[in-house]
Amino acid sequence: MAEAQPYRVLARKYRPQSFDQLIGQDAMVRTLGNAIKRDRLAHAFLLTGVRGVGKTSTARLIAKALNCIGPDGQGGPTIAPCGVCEPCIAIAEGRHIDVIEMDAASHTGIDDIREIIEAVRYAAVSARYKIHIIDEVHMLSKPAFNGLLKTLEEPPPHVKFLFATTEVNKIPVTVLSRCQRFDLKRIPSELLAGHFGHVVEAEHVEAEPEALALIARAAEGSARDGLSILDQAIAHAGMGDGGVTADQVREMLGLSDRGAIRRLFGDLLAGDVPAVLASLQSQHDLGVEPAAVLRALLEIVHGATRAKAGGAADPALSAEEREALADWASRLGFATLHRLWQLLLRGHEEVQRAPQPREAAEMALLRLIHASQLPDPGDLARRLQSGEAMPAGPPAPASAAAEAQAPMLRYPADFRTMHDLLVAERKQLLAQMLHDFTGVVRYDPPTLAIRPLKPLPGDFARDLGAALKAATGSLWDVTLSDGPAEPSLLETEQAAEAAARDAILATPVVAATLEAFPGAKPIWDEIEPRSISR
């Protein structure tokens, strides 16, 4: 009776044994293959990338590619190692005497590097190349890096160095310049989901495509992380007939139901406070972390913004999700989407710091509902400048969610407010002439009749009408008239200033002071009068 083999986790069992099995790194494989074909092999390779993208596995594959001798024992370096010759088998099993692996996290000092320097003097025992694989090389100490420099620059022809790191910025430039660098990319979610499909098929396990897509998304581009999650999901499913389901994966990872999140987002846009609070409570009861709810809402806003900008949809999304994102993209403007993103991002940060995350999430969503009913910041500035009252009322219905974001049309309350609006719109020259040289004949927006008190440019009325249209969003009828007019704003200010001076001079204290000091005069006589618009 054959002895039962111990269980191997999926991340080890399905470690790539050939470059064909290395997913998501086609550019690196192509470059390396061309270098081998043309016999232009570097003496040192640096493999960098995030965790789990295959740096150490790639280093072992390179070692196999350089030392493979083929089934007949006569082969040379190849991008497609046979996997059956003694060097290939020994390297795959980690027992080849000429392929030495070292973990720099536990061997950081100069003494460890001295051993390597001593060892490279001697030729390989049985392989074509003696290969040193140093994992997490960025953790070597500065003396260790310095000790390695000379050997790294001029190693013997029978020696190759393979370095792997997740933090390439910590490696000295002097070392980087001596290596051929390969940046291993994050693996796209769709490739990971397809890979996981092959794995569950080989493991004779049923799994829903949506479940594999959720695992791929949670892996964040790491094949190892994804296989570890898949291993856990298979164990979580147990012996059930349904296999791995999306609901089980959500429960295991603490993910929120995406359909529920879409409904929550719709309630937020509709301003339905009771529904929003009930949805958040429901997610909390299911064990979903408040921060995860905010992250899911951020994903929706990002997806809707990408859809509006014409970006390609995420292949991992279901048809229902794509349809919902397209609908929101058609109804919401970029300004609204960016505001939603900023508010949710701020809320997510607060939830992560808060001692009571659920309460912080509720406050963040309520703030979002309130802020969604406010006017656009640019329109708000115009309203404040013109002295208009801010509209107040109940949240807009769902059908008017997008329209609630649009600015409401308002006219300046009076002629002076209109002048101040032009100043705010940086139409200073028009505002100055309006202030100093015109009097109002009729102010009935959008109709304006003014009397020139001094000659004005011939195109003044046309330019003023265009500026008012840009500031208020409405066409204005601006005419120059000879009829009775009010004093100009400048004359009104000068009259008010003169009245104020007379009132001050008439006060007993000032009158007594001037009488006691003949020839004295108020200081304002030495100051030029200023108009408000200057």
Find the CATH number of the domain harbouring 71.
3.40.50.300
Tell me, yes or no, whether 128 and 54 share the same domain: yes
The pLDDT tens digits of the residues spanning 495-525 come to: 888 877 777 777 777 777 777 777 767 765 5
Task: Judge if 419 and 520 occupy the same domain.
Answer: yes
pLDDT above 50: residue 534: no
Residue 400 falls inside a structural domain: no
Q: Residue 515: what pLDDT?
A: 75
pLDDT in tens, 51-79: 888 888 899 999 999 999 989 888 888 88
What is the identity of the amino acid at 407? Answer: P
Give the domain-ending residue among 341, 372, 403.
Answer: 372
317-321, 362-366, 494-498: range with highest mean pLDDT: 362-366
Residues 98 and 40 in one domain: yes
Task: Say yes or no: 428 and 312 in one domain.
Answer: no
Q: What letter does residue 519 receive in the DSSP assignment?
A: T
Region 276-292 average pLDDT: 87
Mean pLDDT of 224-245: 81
Q: What is the pLDDT of residue 161?
A: 93
Sheet holding 447-452, edge to edge: 438-444, 447-452, 477-480
163 pLDDT more than 90: yes
Distance CA 17, CA 61 (A): 7
Please give the average per-residue pLDDT across 153-171, as a whole number: 90
Considering the domain architecture, whether residues 33 and 160 belong to the same structural domain is answered as: yes
The pLDDT score that the predictor gives to residue 499 is: 79
Query: Listing from the earlier edge strand, what are the strands of the sheet with 180-183?
Result: 99-103, 130-135, 159-165, 44-48, 180-183
pLDDT of residue 529: 44
Mean pLDDT value across residues 405-413: 56
Q: What pLDDT sits at residue 241? A: 60
Q: What's the pLDDT at 106?
A: 86
Same domain, yes or no: 59 and 158: yes
Q: Residue holding tokens 């403007």?
A: 333
Contact present, 188 and 24 (Cβ < 8 Å): yes
- 279 and 362 together in one domain: yes
**What is the structure's pLDDT at 408?**
37
Q: Do 19 and 98 fall within a single domain?
A: yes
- CATH of residue 227's domain is 1.10.8.60
Range of the domain at 293: 258-372
Closest CA to 408 of 369, 446, 375: 375
Domain count, the chain: 4
Supply the mean pLDDT for the chain: 82
In a domain, 393, yes or no: no
Q: Give the pTM.
A: 0.58
Residues 459, 345 share a domain:
no
For residue 256, pLDDT over 70 is answered with no
pLDDT band at 398 (very low <50, low <70, confident <90, very high): very low
Cβ proximity of 60 and 91 under 8 Å: yes
pLDDT at 120 over 80: yes
Q: Which of 183, 206, 228 is the last residue of a domain?
A: 183
Tokens of 376: 């656009």
Q: What is the spatial distance between Cα 242 and Cα 208, in angstroms, rounded to a whole number?
A: 9
Q: What is the distance between the alpha carbons of residues 237 and 215, in angstroms, rounded to a whole number?
A: 14
Over residues 392-399, mean pLDDT: 42
Distance CA 22, CA 10 (A): 15
What confidence category does residue 399 fall into, taking pLDDT thresholds of 50, 70 and 90? Answer: very low
Counting Cα atoms < 13 Å in the Cβ hemisphere of 251 gives 10
Q: Which of 163, 183, 203 is the last residue of a domain?
A: 183
Let me know the angle formed at the C-alpha of 162 by 156 and 165, rounded to the nearest 5 degrees: 145
Give pLDDT, residue 362. 92
DSSP annotation string for 320-367 = HHHHHHHHHHHHS-HHHHHHHHHHHHHHHHHHHH-SSHHHHHHHHHHH
- Mean predicted confidence (pLDDT) in 127-137: 91
